[in-house]
């Protein structure tokens, strides 16, 4: 059946799907050219040996048992493992996965509201605002925030299955809801509020309350209890975490957290309408003025009371407001999940809650204009203009995520006293070889937060690279003094001791690091080198065995272990290790040189071939010796 536009509804829906897809691609496609950033991407992907181990039994087991970063989200880790298998360390592939998930969530969101309400253009507005809002750039453009886009996809899928179930409440359809909800919980704990959102949707737009007036409580308990039980399990798993113990920073006072949460609760909706000064991190305020807390509290109470009073007349305002309020609650900051990165609020927390605000706008604004002719002529162009502005701002915001330097330089421009931005910008500048500028930003981070161990660690790392071991040790000592369980600081301090020939002290630091970070192959590799320098060859071999068991793709461990086997006369075993090292890294000059040595020991002419290859790759020592001794022409 055609409407006034002459286009039948199925074709209209198809057009919306196509436009949503291509506009979102146009706004976000640039992330395909972006790289990794130092802020969490290293821990999640680039320096995570578990991710790089592949879809083996151990990798899958780790994904399902670890609470790395204090969260249980196995699907996120499995998605990274798959990405690494497909793209290696090409950041564009990871960004593309995030973007695809974001687009799929957008299309499912449109389908969800269009199916529930039949309102095509209002549903399209809700989906478009979700797709194009600049506060959502963080969730899409940040590889480490895979949990956002992955959980959002399963959130939307769960609600779509839920609507499918409500149309015909049979057990097999309910199983689809349960299954999809479990996948959402395995992506990010924030989705624990989803069963409550279902209750709001039951009221509007599904209107299921009207057919269950006699047994509302019993009906909801019967239907939602399995979902709430799953949510409670995830809440318990999340709260039972030792993540906070890894920080040198102290938790903020509960009163400060409540004050910040109340003010932030109001800021999110305001930034939905006008997103300004967006940053990767907003520092926790040293003081929240009482008038802001009082004003925000009054506004929240007033809107909540208004939503309840007009629930029968304007049910979409009630459902939209409670969608926002309930879904933002787990990340309001009253319960401080992370001490390592203290922040007042985060753009990524706006991702799912913003849908409730979009519903209030999409259904509420047209209801304010009673004249149909004015509504038809005004609402569509105004909505189009608003979304166009959001798309333009998102495209610009995406540009800041190109690399660590641009991201944190921008953060310092739009925020004040941002010690995390100074620290991360320092890391980026050091990587670019701008050492003095890096030290300046690390010193700024120390000035702003003298109890934070990480800037001291980074300054120590710079001095270590410069060969100033005394200054390096001073800073590593400060780091471990502030944070006694700082494994990386023990590793780096141990490395400095090794360079000074203090191998026993280095081993003591490596021992401490192993107790804190037993799955880090680098510690065993370094401890193996220290034992080797002390002439304790069997202990060194044992350390390289452990390093290889954690990261079987590490050619350096095979080469070093082979060198020890060669030293103790086990040439065949050494040859096997050198072969493995070369198969993992065909351009490994030292491995070719070591294998040439074994071949010469065995009287094989293959030694000349390997010695020559080693020289081509930059290590000519054994080639020169072989020529002088007449072994090779």
Query: Tell me: the pLDDT tens digits for 482-513?
Result: 999 999 999 999 999 999 999 999 999 999 99
pLDDT recorded at residue 248: 60
Query: How many angstroms separate the CA atoms of 527 and 508, rounded?
Result: 9
* Banded pLDDT at 336 (limits 50, 70, 90): low
pLDDT surpassing 70 at residue 100: yes
Q: Which of 126-130, 249-253, 403-407, 509-513 has the lowest mean pLDDT?
A: 249-253
pLDDT recorded at residue 243: 44
pLDDT recorded at residue 583: 96
pLDDT recorded at residue 245: 45
User: What is the tens place of the pLDDT at every residue in 555-573?
Assistant: 999 999 999 999 999 999 9
Count the Cβ atoms, other than its own, within 10 Å of residue 56.
11
Residues 6+ apart with CB under 8 A from 462: 430, 435, 438, 439, 442
Q: How far is CA 530 from CA 507, 508, 515, 521, 574, in A?
A: 7, 10, 17, 15, 19
User: What is the tens place of the pLDDT at every residue in 213-226?
Assistant: 778 888 999 999 99
pLDDT recorded at residue 70: 74
* Banded pLDDT at 340 (limits 50, 70, 90): low
Q: What average pLDDT does the chain have?
A: 92
* Banded pLDDT at 244 (limits 50, 70, 90): very low
pLDDT surpassing 60 at residue 3: no
pLDDT recorded at residue 371: 79
pLDDT recorded at residue 5: 58
pLDDT recorded at residue 630: 83
Angle, CA of 502, 426 and 421, to the nearest 5°: 130
pLDDT recorded at residue 335: 74
Above pLDDT 70, what percent of the chain? 96
Overall average pLDDT of the 36-58 stretch: 86
Query: How many angstroms separate the CA atoms of 384 and 119, rounded?
Result: 17
Above pLDDT 90, what percent of the chain? 79
pLDDT surpassing 80 at residue 527: yes
Q: Which of 103-107, 108-112, 238-242 has the lowest mean pLDDT?
A: 238-242
User: What is the tens place of the pLDDT at every residue in 412-426?
Assistant: 999 999 999 999 999
Kindly report the CATH number that applies to the domain delimited by 566-633: 1.25.40.10
Q: For residue 283, what are the β-bridge partners?
A: 343
Do the beta carbons of residue 30 and residue 395 sit within 8 Å? yes
pLDDT recorded at residue 184: 97
Overall average pLDDT of the 205-219 stretch: 86
User: What is the tens place of the pLDDT at every residue in 162-197?
Assistant: 999 999 999 999 999 999 999 999 999 999 999 999
Overall average pLDDT of the 471-484 stretch: 97
Task: Give the domain ranges of the chain.
Answer: 10-405, 566-633
Residues 6+ apart with CB under 8 A from 139: 98, 102, 145, 148, 149, 152, 347, 348, 351
pLDDT surpassing 50 at residue 532: yes
- Please tell me which residue, 54 or 546, carries the higher pLDDT value: 546
pLDDT surpassing 50 at residue 92: yes
* Banded pLDDT at 120 (limits 50, 70, 90): very high
Q: Which of 171-180, 342-351, 455-464 has the lowest mean pLDDT?
A: 342-351
pLDDT surpassing 60 at residue 241: no
């Amino acid at each position: 059946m055609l409407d006034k536009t002459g286009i039948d509804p199925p074709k209209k829906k198809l057009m919306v799907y196509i436009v949503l897809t291509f506009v979102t691609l146009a706004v976000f496609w640039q992330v395909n050219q972006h790289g990794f950033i130092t802020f969490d991407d290293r821990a999640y992907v680039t320096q995570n040996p578990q991710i790089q181990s592949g879809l083996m039994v151990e990798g899958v087991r780790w994904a399902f048992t670890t609470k790395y970063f204090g969260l249980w989200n196995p699907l996120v880790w499995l998605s990274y493992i798959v990405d690494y298998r497909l793209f290696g360390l090409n950041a564009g592939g990871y960004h593309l996965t995030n973007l695809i998930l974001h687009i799929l969530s957008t299309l499912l969101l449109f389908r969800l509201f269009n199916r529930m309400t039949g309102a095509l253009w209002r549903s399209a507005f809700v989906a478009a605002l979700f797709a194009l809002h600049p506060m959502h750039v963080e969730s899409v453009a940040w590889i480490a925030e895979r949990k956002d886009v992955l959980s959002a996809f399963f959130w939307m899928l769960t609600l779509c299955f839920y609507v499918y179930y409500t149309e015909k409440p049979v057990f097999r359809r309910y199983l689809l809801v349960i299954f999809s909800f479990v996948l959402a919980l395995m992506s990010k704990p924030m989705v624990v509020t989803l069963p409550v959102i279902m209750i709001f949707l039951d009221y509007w737009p599904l209107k299921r309350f009207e057919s269950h007036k006699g047994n509302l409580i019993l009906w909801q308990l019967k239907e939602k209890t399995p979902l709430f039980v799953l949510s409670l399990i995830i809440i318990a798993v999340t709260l039972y975490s030792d993540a906070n113990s890894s920080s040198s920073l102290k938790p903020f006072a509960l009163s400060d957290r409540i004050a910040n949460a109340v003010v932030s609760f109001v800021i999110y909706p305001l930034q939905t309408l006008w997103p300004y000064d967006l940053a990767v991190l907003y520092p926790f305020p040293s003081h929240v003025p009482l008038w802001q807390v009082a004003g925000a509290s009054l506004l929240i109470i007033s809107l909540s009371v208004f939503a309840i009073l007009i629930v029968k007349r304007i049910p979409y305002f009630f459902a939209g407001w409670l969608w926002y309020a309930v879904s933002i609650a787990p990340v309001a900051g009253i319960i401080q999940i992370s001490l390592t990165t203290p922040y007042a609020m985060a753009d990524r927390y706006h991702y799912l809650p913003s849908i409730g605000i979009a519903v209030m706008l999409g259904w509420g604004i047209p209801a304010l204009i009673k004249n149909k002719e004015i509504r038809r002529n005004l609402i569509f162009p105004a909505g189009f203009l608003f979304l166009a502005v959001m798309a333009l701002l998102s495209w610009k915001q995406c540009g800041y995520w190109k690399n660590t330097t641009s991201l944190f330089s921008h953060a310092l421009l739009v925020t004040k006293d941002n010690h995390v931005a100074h620290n991360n910008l320092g890391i980026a500048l050091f990587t670019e070889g701008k050492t003095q500028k890096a030290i300046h930003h690390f010193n700024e981070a120390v000035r702003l937060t003298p109890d934070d161990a990480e800037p001291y660690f980074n300054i120590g790392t710079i001095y270590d690279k410069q060969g100033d071991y005394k200054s390096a040790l001073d800073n590593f000592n400060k780091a471990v003094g502030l944070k006694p369980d700082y494994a990386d600081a023990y590793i780096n301090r141990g490395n400095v001791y090794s360079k000074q020939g203090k191998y026993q002290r280095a081993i003591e630091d490596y021992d401490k690091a192993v107790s804190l970070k037993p799955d880090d192959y680098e510690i065993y590799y370094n401890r193996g080198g220290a034992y080797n320098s002390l002439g304790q060859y069997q202990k060194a071999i044992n350390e390289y065995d452990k390093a290889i068991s954690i990261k079987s793709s590490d050619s350096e461990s095979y080469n070093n272990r082979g060198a020890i086997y060669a030293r103790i006369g086990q040439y065949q075993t050494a040859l096997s290790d050198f072969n493995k090292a070369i198969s993992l890294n065909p351009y490994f000059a030292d491995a070719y040189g070591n294998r040439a040595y074994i071949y010469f020991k065995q009287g094989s002419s293959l030694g000349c071939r390997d010695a020559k290859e080693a020289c081509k790759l930059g290590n000519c020592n054994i080639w020169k010796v072989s020529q002088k001794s007449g072994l090779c022409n």
